Amino acid sequence: MKIIDKNKRFSESLLWKLQSDAYTNFGVEAWTEKGVPSYLTSNPYTAKQYAQAALGYLRDSVRRGAIDFSKPVYIFDLGAGTGRFGYLFLKHLLEWIEQLPLRNIQVRYVMTDMVEKNLAFLQSHPYLQDLIDHRYLDFALYHHGYIEEPLVLRNTQEVLTPGSLQNPAIVIGNYFFDTIPQDLFKVQAGKLHEGRITISSPIPYSETHPDPSIISGMECRYDYVPIEDASDYFPGNKDVNRLLHQYAANFEGVPFLFPSGAFQTLDYFSRLSQNRYLMLAGDQGVCTDKQVKEWGEPQISRHGSFSISVSYHAIAEYFRMRGGTGLLTTLPDPLFVVIAAAADAPVEEMQELRFSFLQSFDSFEPSDYWKIVLCCEREWKTPPLDLLLLLIKIGNWDPINFHAFFPAIHAQLPKASPQLRDDLCYTIDRVWQQFYPVSPQEGEFVMNLGVLLYEMEQPEKALVYFERALKVAGDRADIWKNMGVCYAALQDTENALACFQKAKSLK
């Protein structure tokens, strides 16, 4: 092991350069190949809950007379990644807006990322083209380190600068704040100390040829040095400094992380929107005094890149101390927490947002759904078919879990009742509506939908899904063979032979 970064302030350490290098190097493969987590923030259930909270905020904004219907409402998706969350979120929000008195609101959803390869992937994704054509969707390069740079939209070429937004905005930060700089502190004998990190690695660091594999093998050590003058530790940001000293008074003797990068990002969008915005985020993090005290020094989760839990306790308090709203769930699990925070009014003036938050996130969090699914996987080798269909329905027709449970669904199909078969056919159509591919391998999921329909003696419907599978996966022998079997069942000999010949040519 060799020291590659020594005794650095946590927010200024090499960690964050390694993070940027990893995402720049991997592109979309960060999620499709390298194991960077995305499920909890990119499934239909989570997207629906976020859309409900956004809708509540928009209703409050209309009621308060804050919306100019001649101007767009911008929704910024920070670190949009594969675009799956944004696609599902917009699907729900636009559908609901059209059915409510909000139909005159112009929505402009902006997928941002710091990696050009990711933006290129998003701009060319076939499932996003209709949203782009209708001007619901745009794209922008954004890095958490941007402080003064304008946000330039790729399609409209609009340049967004401080104060340029005429309507309240919505900022979404899923698995974002846990990947940007934080600071580390500890109070000893009444004095605030700054946390410093030393990083060692068996692989040397090279500025010219950065190697993301350093992350998996690095070791970190933390030391603390007293801060001589902590009155303006974050220069010019009196609210963040006030919050830091409030933390120092409450958490004597325990190390605590402080989300300085998050505050910098929120300040950027506050200036764009004239401090009128809703922030929605889902992440690993802590939300209570007890969780902060038990947190300890940074635990670095490694998964191709890395992530570090965030103090949403501090972020919620930041909004409240500035006269805004900070909503956290009643029983937060540090594994995955959610927050809804509005900068422009206290909670008493945000009745619709508060009601939406209580009815969606607080009553049944995204992590609650995930835990139930895991429990079923653990307790049953083959969960009952009716239970599986109910789970998928509760998850807002979740394709990922349908795919995970496909072997169990397929195994029980021969003995399924006529009613269960009808329910399965309906479920297949609904999960397809929530499907958004990010790699050709996901054609397997679509093909499996066709297999189930064929085995329920619906070859015509099965053909539709096999054709869709080809569009996702490209030419595959097994898909063409399945199509041939369907045509044979329909007594279409000519097309059956053509498909079998195509399958043979691909082997």
Alpha helices (H) in 28-113, listed in sequence order:
29-32, 44-63, 84-99
Structural tokens at position 171: 């900022």
Report phi then psi at 237, rounded to 5: -115, 85
Q: Which domain holds residue 304?
A: 21-179+263-360
In a shared domain, residues 150 and 75: yes
Q: pLDDT at residue 101 above 80?
A: no
Closest among 315, 371, 367 to 340, alpha carbons compared? 315
Return the pLDDT at 103. 79
pLDDT of residue 507: 78
Do 291 and 165 share a structural domain?
yes
pLDDT-derived band at 354 (thresholds 50, 70, 90) equals very high
Q: Tell me, yes or no, whether 490 lies in a domain.
A: yes
- From the list 387, 443, 442, 445, the residue with the least C-alpha distance to 420 is 387
Quickly state the pLDDT bin for 210 (edges 50, 70, 90). Answer: confident
The whole-model pTM stands at 0.96
CB 219, CB 17: distance < 8 Å: no
pLDDT attached to residue 155? 96
75 with 185, same domain: the answer is: no
Segment 51-66 shows an average pLDDT of 96
H helices of 296-415, in order, are: 312-321, 351-357, 366-379, 385-394, 399-404, 406-412
User: Are residues 46 and 157 both part of a single domain?
Assistant: yes
The structural domain count of the chain equals 3
Burial of 210 from C-beta contacts in 10 A (0-12 / 13-18 / 19+) = middle
Examine the domain organization and report whether 347 and 429 are in the same domain: no
**Percent of the chain beyond pLDDT 70?**
100
Residue 158: pLDDT over 90: yes
What pLDDT score does 146 carry?
Answer: 87
Q: Residue 16: its pLDDT value, please? A: 95
Q: pLDDT per residue over 317-335, tens digit each?
A: 999 999 999 999 999 999 9
Residue 38 is encoded by which pair of tokens? 């995305």
CATH of the domain at 110: 3.40.50.150
| In a shared domain, residues 435 and 338 | no
Quick one: 192 and 150 in the same domain? no
Mean pLDDT taken over the chain: 95
pLDDT, tens digit, for every residue of 334-349?
Answer: 999 999 999 999 999 9
150 and 38 in a common domain: yes
The C-alpha atoms of residue 200 and residue 219 are separated, in whole angstroms, by 5
Note the pLDDT of residue 385: 96
User: What's the pLDDT score for residue 481?
Assistant: 97
Q: Please determine, for residue 503, whether its predicted confidence score (pLDDT) is greater than 80.
A: yes
Contact 93, 105 (CB under 8 A): no
Cβ atoms 19, 34 nearer than 8 A: no
In a domain, 174, yes or no: yes
Give the model's pLDDT for residue 399: 97
Burial class (CB in 10 A: 0-12, 13-18, 19+), 165: buried
Residues 239 and 270 in one domain: no
State both tokens at 239: 């609210």
**Domain co-membership, 163 together with 214:** no
Cα end-to-end span (Å), the chain = 48
